[in-house]
Chains A and B, each alone.
Chain A
Amino acid sequence: MSTGLVVVQILNGLQFGVLLFLIAAGLTLVFGVMDFINLAHGVQYMLGAYLAVAFYALTGNFLVALVLALAAALVFGLLLEFLIFRHLYDRDHLEQVIATFGIIIFLNQAVKTVWGAAPLTLPIPEFFSGSIVLMPGLLYPVWRLVIIGSGLAIGLLLYILVGHTRVGMLVRAGATNARMVSALGVDIHRLFMIVFGFGTMLAAFAGAMIAPILSVEPGMGDSVLILAFVVIVIGGIGSMRGAFLAALLIGLVDTLGRSFAIDILRLVMPPSPARTVGPAIASMLIYVLMALVLYFRPSGLFPARGRG
């Protein structure tokens, strides 16, 4: 277990965390402001990836493909909002879960129909391909650093937007008490659409950025979605700050856990059981973390609605 390996895994953990933040941010806002459980958020992440691949095939330029993918994902997301989600805001959470589950089923199959079931790839933009030397003998892929950087930049942007603009204030107020905001005369539907659209773009952005590294395949949004749920549960529903911190925490715990579980266990038990138990414990880690946080703080670390 060399320092270099630890550094690499920490960076990987940050990158994963940043990715989770991008997805969780939209999810927690939509949930906080509209009280709407959107399981289909994961497929928006997946769509971002597929659209990036498709537009890249058309244009040959990653940046252009990214922009087009975001635009298309936004349009698609707003379409979903208009046609379906809008009618679900007043419904029971159970119904929201089923309806958005239906959308996942549909889109996972649709994507398979259009692009086939085989995983697709996207080349890393040339400018950012390759690795840089972090420490003597330690190379790290530039693109992963780009992801970390852009995620942090977006985090900063959101912090400014949500914390220091009028729209942001409305969003925060809406997350605390949507009915009150509406009663104050704010066009709550317009606010919903802005929140929703923004969240969709964040998820699509995450999908497009990760596409060069991961394989793009049907169902890729599903496992990430559940992690995003863990993030917002730990962070507190409706809270950007909570989502950010929880996402980084989970990214680090999960990555470091998986990399070093066996090694850490070897300190207290012989190698063979360590190798068996290690992976099992590594997979449990973030859920145990979630359970612990919830035991002491049932509404998460920074709940938007307060702990009154």
Chain B
Amino acid sequence: MNRGLTASNTVSLPQDDRVGGLPAAIFLLLALVPFAAGFGPESYVLGLFTRVMVFAIAALALDFICGYGGLVSFGHAAFVGIGAYAVGILGAHGITDMLVSLPSALLASAIFAYLTGNVCLRTRSVYFIMITLAFGQMAYFIAGSLAPYGGDDGLTIRLRSTLFGFAILQNDRSFYYFVLLALLAAYLLFRAIVYSRFGRVFRGARENPTRMSTLGFDVFRFQRVGYVIAGAVGGLSGFLLANATQFVSPAFMSWQRSGELIIMILLGGLGTLHGAIIGAAAYLLIEEALGGITEQWKLIFGPLLVLIVLFARGGLLGLADKIRGRLGRA
């Protein structure tokens, strides 16, 4: 169903693939945060922006399958949670080396994506949303029933991941840059994929899957590969989240979290990649800001979402385009 939702309503992909001004600016700003943070409550600011970047990674993956691939997954948080639990469970058994926990996180999420993708991707978009939602719930309940690993209450992680025994992530600043690097890597990865041969088929499958199969493409397999990649990157986000909070809980995989991820990509601008980063930042920062003002901030946020859907299609980037257009005309 292609009723023109993306920030770019006209083209499937902008011709220019130079990492343009805006994405570069975003990364530059993010790189400068730790310096600016020194002027305020440093660990709070660092922690906040670390979280922004961690969720941005998950949002990037979601934007890839949803914004470019047309696969609206309402269970994306499950991949994040699985990645996080990989860290938690290994940690509970004394294994903290990231050379073990990171690949484990990626692999676990990828496997979950493969198995659930096999079921979801056979169905129409309509069912797809609900089935991904259901699988997300399944992961949530399984995590909650793992009594040895905290069950519903979750599990604390004593130490952040180490490398060859060195606790290189324990320092908040170094961890921040580690996450920034991961975000940059994820961004560049998806950027490349989207313009690649695979990406073209993946995007085409969104426009017209029947047409694609009559060209000779096994649409199901292409979508499954894309879904697994997105799942693995979600697992990366989870690995980082577990390290950031030094805590894992089933709540990481709740459907509300999946919903929040969708909100992020919509907020920033669907199908733009850097929109996912903007959206993650916007959502989390608004949540922080409003939450600080009033406990009832959700009373404002809920209707705000409805208004955004009704009137601000294309998210923040779409709005920016519109404003730029108006200013250009003025």
**Chains A and B touch (C-beta atoms under 8 A apart):** yes
Interface residues of A (CB under 8 A from B): 31, 35, 37, 84, 87-88, 90-95, 97-99, 101-110, 113, 222-223, 226, 229-230, 232-233, 237, 276, 279-280, 282-284, 287, 290-291, 294-295, 298-300
Contact of A102 among B1, B116, B302 (CB under 8 A): B302
Please, which residues of chain A bring their CB within 8 A of the CB of B310? Answer: 84, 87-88, 99
- Does B255 belong to the interface (CB within 8 Å)? yes
Report B-chain residues with C-beta under 8 Å of the C-beta of A103. 302, 306
- Residues of B close to A279: CB separation below 8 A: 145, 147
Chain A to chain B: the 5 pairs with minimum beta-carbon distance, closest first: A106-B302, A102-B305, A283-B141, A287-B138, A109-B298
- Which residue of the partner chain, among B129, B131, B144, B303, contacts A283 with CB atoms under 8 Å? B144
Name the A residues within 8 Å of B119 (CB-CB): 291, 294-295
A105-B298, A105-B301, A109-B299 as given contacts; A287 in contact with B309, CB under 8 Å: no
Give A101 to B3 CA distance when docked, in angstroms: 20
Q: If A90-B3, A98-B262 touch, does A104 touch B131 (CB 8 Å cutoff)?
A: no
Cβ contact within 8 Å between A290 and B142: no
Contact assessment for B309 and A102 in the assembled complex, using a CB-CB cutoff below 8 Å: yes
* Contact A280-B142, Cβ < 8 Å, known A93-B125, A226-B137: yes
Partner pick for A237 among B118, B126, B256, B263, CB 8 A cutoff: B126
- Chain A, Cβ-Cβ closest to B267: A98
Q: Smallest CB–CB gap between B4 and chain A, Å?
A: 8
The residues of A that contact B1 with a CB separation of less than 8 Å are 92-93
**How far, in angstroms, from A290 to B313 measured CA to CA in the complex?**
34
Chain B residues closer than 8 Å to A298, beta-carbon distance: 122-124, 127
Q: List 24 A-B contacts (CB under 8 A).
A: A31-B126, A37-B126, A93-B125, A93-B129, A94-B5, A95-B5, A95-B313, A97-B72, A98-B259, A98-B262, A101-B263, A102-B301, A102-B303, A105-B301, A106-B298, A106-B299, A222-B255, A226-B134, A226-B255, A283-B142, A283-B144, A295-B122, A298-B122, A298-B127
Mostly, the B contact residues are helix
**A291 nearest in chain B by CB position:** B119
| Contacts A95-B309, A106-B303, A226-B255 known; 11 new A-B pairs at CB < 8 A | A35-B126, A94-B270, A99-B305, A101-B262, A103-B302, A105-B298, A113-B296, A222-B255, A294-B123, A294-B127, A295-B118
Interface of B toward A, CB cutoff 8 Å: 1, 3, 5, 66, 72, 74, 116, 118-119, 122-127, 129-131, 133-135, 137-138, 141-142, 144-148, 255-256, 259, 262-263, 266, 270, 296, 298-299, 301-306, 308-310, 313
Task: Report which of A107, A230, A299 forms a contact with B302, defined as CB distance below 8 A.
Answer: A107
> For residue B305, which residues in chain A have a CB less than 8 angstroms away from its CB?
98-99, 101-102, 105
Q: Which residue from A101, A110, A290 sits with its C-beta under 8 Å from B134?
A: A290
Q: Which of A88, A232, A298 has the most CB of B within 10 A?
A: A298
**Once the chains bind, are B129 and A97 in contact (CB under 8 Å)?**
yes
B123 touches A91 (CB 8 A): no
Q: How far is the CB of B227 from chain A (nearest CB, A)?
A: 15
Complex contacts, B72 vs chain A, CB 8 Å: 93-94, 97
Q: Judging by beta carbons under 8 Å apart, are B298 and A108 in contact?
A: yes
**Alpha-carbon distance A223/B144, docked complex (angstroms):** 14
Which chain A residue has the least Cβ–Cβ distance from B270? A94
Q: Is the beta-carbon distance between B145 and A280 smaller than 8 angstroms?
A: yes
Q: How far is the CA of A226 from the CA of B131 in the complex (A)?
A: 9
Q: Compute how far the CA of A94 lies from the CA of B126 in the bound complex, rounded to whole angstroms.
A: 10
In the bound complex, residues from chain A placing their C-beta under 8 Å from that of B148 are 276
- A-chain residues with CB within 8 Å of residue B124 when the two chains form the complex: 298-299
In the complex, what residues of B have CB within 8 A of residue A229's CB? Answer: 130, 133-134
Is the contact region of chain A dominated by helix, strand, or loop, or is it mixed? helix
Closest B residue to A91 by beta carbon equals B3
CB proximity of A32 to chain B, nearest CB, Å: 10
- Other-chain contact of B142, A91, A284, A291 (Cβ < 8 Å): A284
Give the residues in chain B near A237, CB-CB below 8 Å.
Answer: 126-127
By a CB distance below 8 angstroms, the chain A residues around B66 are 94
**Bound CA span A109–B295, Å:** 10
Residues of B within 8 A of A107 (CB): 302
Contacting pair B299 A110 (CB below 8 A): yes
Indicate if the CB atoms of A97 and B74 lie closer than 8 Å: yes
A113: chain B residues within 8 A (beta carbon): 296, 299
Query: Does B146 lie within 8 Å of A102, measured CB to CB?
Result: no
- A99 to chain B: closest residue by CB: B309
Q: Return chain B residues, CB-CB under 8 Å to A87.
A: 310
A92 touches B306 (CB 8 A): no
- Cα distance A93–B221 in the bound complex, in angstroms: 24
Chain A residue contacts of B138, Cβ below 8 A: 283-284, 287
User: Shortest CB–CB separation between residue A82 and chain B, in angstroms?
Assistant: 14
The contact of B131 among A95, A222, A280, A294, by CB within 8 Å, is: A294
- B228–chain A nearest beta-carbon distance, Å: 17
B322 to chain A, nearest CB (A): 17
Complex alpha-carbon distance, A88 and B3, angstroms: 12
Contact A287 B134 (CB under 8 A): yes
A76 → chain B closest CB, angstroms: 15
CB of A283 to closest CB in B, whole Å: 4
Residues on the A chain within 8 Å of B263, using CB: 98, 101
Contact A101 B259 (CB under 8 A): yes
- Residues of chain A within 8 A (CB-CB) of B137 are 223, 226, 287
Name the distance in Å between A296's Cβ and chain B's nearest Cβ: 10
Neighbouring B residues of A226 by C-beta, 8 Å: 133-134, 137, 255
Contacts of A108 in B (CB 8 A): 298
B262 touches A97 (CB 8 A): yes
* Nearest CB in chain B to that of A223: its residue: B137
Question: A287 touches which one: B5, B135, B306 (CB < 8 A)?
Answer: B135
**CA–CA, A229 and B135, complex, Å:** 11
- A93/B309 in contact, CB under 8 A: no
Q: Which residue of B lies closest to A101 (CB)?
A: B259
